[in-house]
Chain A
Amino acid sequence: MSLLEIRNVTRRFGRLAAVDRVSLSVDAGEFFTLVGPSGCGKTTLLRMIAGFEEPDEGDLLLDGRPLAGIPPERRPVHTVFQSYALFPHMSVAENVAFPLQMAGTPARDIDGRVREALELVHLDDRAQHLPAQLSGGQKQRVALARALIGKPRLLLLDEPLAALDAKLREQITGELIALQRAVGISFVFVTHSQHEALALSHRLAVMNCGHVEQVGSPEEIYARPANRFVAGFIGTINLLPVEVREATPAALRLFAGGLGEIISTPQPGLCTGDRGTLALRPEQVRIIADGGDPMTENRARGSVRDCLYLGDVTVYRIAIAGGVVIEALLANRDPGVNRFLERDAPVIIGWARDSGVFLRD
């Protein structure tokens, strides 16, 4: 049985359904991420789990027991707020001790546990500081320690890294994974950064306009997006309008304007004439110098429209006949050497038949 069950939950504000018939489950010990564009209902869903909002329809169950009517303070669920919400009049140690005091933990146990919790987030030397004397990253860690010290069943994190700079985000991302493993508490993490979602989660749910579009492991979501929204939201991707020419268990033959025939992985339930989109990751597209690569069944001629040098990789935008533009990504293995393609240089691109996913319209 899963730890948290969300069954068909809807929450409306006026006529807008901020969360619309969402069903999800989170397992014990899992790092689960909600990702989606701004305003898609992530915070609202989190607030219902925490108990600050009640669903208009549907049920939330924790350990199989319904959460309806239980106030936030009696749910074994703690939250790390985006603004951290540290109590400004209390020291770091007092902030972290707060949940224990509210739970009536004997005073002699509190000091030891506060010290442990602060060691866990490497802040034991800041115990007597006030929140105002801490940096953003340190505040964030205090908020984490405070939310974890009461040993909740579930920890909710609402964009906890949004206020930090890129370098610090990266560092704390790594620490978060280690921390979650160490404490073994289920995390539900909200972000609108696809990088964080992919890097952190065991599983993630991609949300859009109050709906859940797809749930799966980062690999599943990245490699097999269920629809165009997910494909476009997670990572960059080439979306080519195509039509099914022939669908057999052995191969899927597609036709795209400007590209001609494309061979792709077979999918059940398609028939000739179906329209859809071929989603192709830029890193799956090869740029072939002399046409001698046997791995790429699909070929097209084009010319370099522009390129974007990013240090580790270079992104080329290749113009194909018929106005189609395909992005291809090349790793810069020997820095300085690989920038060989000038603007307007003629190239041949290719990709293997098992690259790319056909998405029905």
Chain B
Amino acid sequence: MVGRRRPGWLWVAAVGVYAFLYLPLAIVVILSFNDSLLNAEWVGFTTRWYVMLFEDRALLGAAANSLFIALVSATGATLLGTMAGLAMQRCRSGLLRGLPVLVFAPVAMPEILLGVSLLLFFRQVLDLTLGLLSILIAHVTFSIGFVAIVVRTSLAAMDESLFEAARDLGASAWQTFRHVTLPLIAPSVVAGFLMSFALSIDDFVITFFVAGVGVTTLPLQIYSMIKVAVSPEVNAVSTLLMALTLTLITVASRLAPAALRLRM
């Protein structure tokens, strides 16, 4: 094999794009290990900002809230989103034909719009006290579409006669789902869960609108810390959050490559 030479400018462009995307993040990561309160220049290596994180009561509380919300809302979104994905694949005619657009819409809708409308919905329609429950419902709402897309994409790539073959060979509708459909879509379901988890734990805008006063999540807490000053502590917690998100998304894209390539 003769290696094909790629033009040099392509390399330059690629490096430029990656730098644009990741340089700010890299600076945050580097500064989180900088032994200086002022952030300005490199003084020396330290992990003391990370140690400090684990003594910050308010931050730990917010992190616990975020993890709980992410876990519960991702579970809920995965259940509902998987069902939506299955329904979309099954019912491609008749009443449910418009379903895909309706489920996918929140994915593309501006977050601020979704935040405001959810706020109005909770306060004026449901008369709900803002708090944990309203955050959970909001997070499920914006995650369902992602799960549905991933599940639907993997189903669409499958040979429909697989499911007929199962029925033909003696499996009831439930057994077909249990022994054939579910194992086949399992990677996409897990990918959907991980994405929902990542979306939930990172979300700021929508949570900002529906959180009320009682409950704080990690992004909200970081925001309130920044209002005082961009401390090395903020860099440290951001680094951890970034690492978690990156891991989740990487695993998810391994599990459902087709669906995620479509979106990302």
Task: Point out residues on A near B: beta carbons under 8 Å.
Answer: 50-52, 71-73, 77-79, 81-83, 85, 87-89, 98-99, 102-103, 146-147, 150
In the assembled complex, B83 has its CB within 8 A of some CB on chain A: no
The answer to whether A88 and B184 touch across the interface, beta carbons within 8 angstroms, is yes
9 nearest CB pairs, A to B: A85-B165, A102-B170, A85-B161, A99-B169, A72-B167, A81-B161, A102-B171, A79-B168, A89-B183
Which chain B residues border A82 with CB–CB below 8 Å? 161
A297 to B165, CA, bound (A): 57
Q: Which residues of A contact B165 (CB under 8 A)?
A: 79, 81, 85, 87
Contact of B161 among A83, A98, A146, A147 (CB under 8 A): A83
Residue pair B171, A85 in contact (C-beta under 8 Å): no
Q: Is the interface of B mostly helix, strand, loop or mixed?
A: helix
Q: A88-B184, A89-B183, A89-B184 are in contact. Are A103 and B162 (CB under 8 A)?
A: no
Q: Nearest Cβ in chain A — how far from B243, in angstroms?
A: 32
Given contacts A87-B180, A89-B183, A89-B184, contact A73 B162 (CB under 8 A): no
Q: How many A-B residue pairs have CB under 8 A?
A: 56
Q: Kindly list 6 other residue pairs between chains A and B, CB separation below 8 angstroms, not including A85-B159, A87-B166.
A: A50-B168, A71-B167, A72-B167, A102-B169, A146-B169, A150-B170
Chain B nearest CB from A302 CB (Å) reads: 52
Beta-carbon contact of B164 and A52 below 8 Å: yes
Tell me, in angstroms, the Cα distance from A89 to B169 when the chains sit together: 16
Q: Taking beta carbons and an 8 Å cutoff, which residues of B are in contact with A?
A: 159, 161-162, 164-172, 175, 179-180, 183-184
How many whole Å from B20's CB to the nearest CB in chain A? 40
- Would you call A103 and B164 a contact (CB within 8 A)? no
Selected A-B contacts with CB under 8 Å, 26 pairs: A51-B167, A51-B168, A52-B167, A72-B168, A73-B168, A73-B170, A73-B171, A73-B172, A78-B168, A79-B168, A81-B164, A81-B165, A83-B159, A85-B162, A85-B165, A87-B165, A87-B166, A87-B180, A88-B184, A89-B183, A98-B171, A98-B179, A99-B169, A102-B171, A103-B170, A150-B169
Note all chain B residues with C-beta closer than 8 A to A50: 168
- CB neighbours (8 Å) of A150 from chain B are 169-170
Residue ID in chain A nearest B164 by CB atoms: A52
Chain B, residue nearest A89 (CB): B183
Contacts of A89 in B (CB 8 A): 183-184
Contact A147/B164 with A87-B180, A89-B184, A102-B175 known, Cβ cut-off 8 Å: no
Given the complex, which residues of B lie within 8 Å of A83, measured CB to CB? 159, 161
- Residue on A nearest B169 in the bound complex, by CB: A99
Q: State how many angstroms separate the Cβ of B39 from the closest Cβ of chain A.
A: 51
Note all chain A residues with C-beta closer than 8 A to B183: 89
A77: chain B residues at CB < 8 Å are: 168
Please pick, from A73, A87, A88, A103, the residue contacting B167 in the complex, using a CB distance under 8 A. A73
Minimal Cβ-Cβ distance residue in B for A52 = B164
Closest chain-B Cβ to A46's Cβ sits at a distance in Å of: 11
Most buried by B among A72, A85, A89: A85
- How far apart are the CA atoms of A52 and B176 in the complex, in Å? 15
A83-B159, A89-B183, A89-B184 given as contacts; is B170 within 8 A of A99 (CB)? yes
Inter-chain contacts of B175 with A (CB < 8 A): 102
Q: Which residues of A contact B162 (CB under 8 A)?
A: 85, 87-88
Q: Which residue of B lies closest to A104 (CB)?
A: B170
A73 surroundings in chain B (CB, below 8 A): 167-172
**Distance of B211 from chain A, by nearest CB (Å):** 42
The distance in angstroms between the C-alpha atoms of A120 and B148, with both chains bound, is 43
Distance, CA A77 to CA B175, complexed state (A): 18
Q: Are A147 and B184 in contact (CB under 8 A)?
A: no
Closest residue to A102 on the B side, CB-wise? B170
Which B residues lie within 8 Å of A87 (CB)? Answer: 162, 165-166, 180
Q: Are B159 and A147 closer than 8 Å at their CB atoms? A: no
The residue in chain B whose Cβ has the minimal distance to the Cβ of A75 is B168
Are the CB atoms of A78 and B169 closer together than 8 Å? yes
Docked CA distance A78–B161 (Å): 13
Chain B nearest Cβ from A282, distance in angstroms: 39
| A106 CB → nearest B CB, Å | 15
Q: What is the bound-complex CA distance between A132 and B179, given in angstroms? A: 18
A230 to chain B, nearest CB (A): 31
Residues of A near B179 (CB, < 8 A) are 98
In whole angstroms, what is the CA distance A319 to B164 when docked? 53
Write out the residue numbers on chain B whose beta carbons fall within 8 Å of the beta carbon of A85. Answer: 159, 161-162, 164-165
A148 to B164, CA, bound (A): 16
For the complex formed, measure the closest distance between the CB of A172 and the CB atoms of chain B, giving whole angstroms. 19
On whether the beta carbons of A98 and B169 are closer than 8 Å, the reply is yes
**Shortest beta-carbon distance, B257 to chain A, in Å?**
16
Q: How far is the CB of B157 from chain A (nearest CB, A)?
A: 11
Residues of A within 8 A of B170 (CB): 73, 99, 102-103, 150
A112 to chain B, nearest CB (A): 19
CB closest chain-B residue, reference A47: B164
Least CB distance, B186 to chain A, in whole angstroms: 9
Most buried by A among B166, B167, B179: B167
Residues of A within 8 A of B159 (CB): 83, 85
Residues of A within 8 Å of B164, CB to CB, are: 52, 72, 79, 81, 85
Q: Among the interface residues B161, B169, B175, which one has the most CB atoms of the partner chain A within 10 A?
A: B169
Q: Report the minimal beta-carbon distance from A219 to chain B, rounded to whole angstroms.
A: 33
In this complex, what residue of A is CB-closest to B165? A85
A102 to B171, CA, bound (A): 6
In Å, the complex CA distance between A137 and B246 comes to 44
Smallest beta-carbon distance B233→chain A, Å: 47
A103: chain B residues at CB < 8 Å are 170
- Which residues on the A side are within 8 Å of B166 (C-beta)? 87, 98
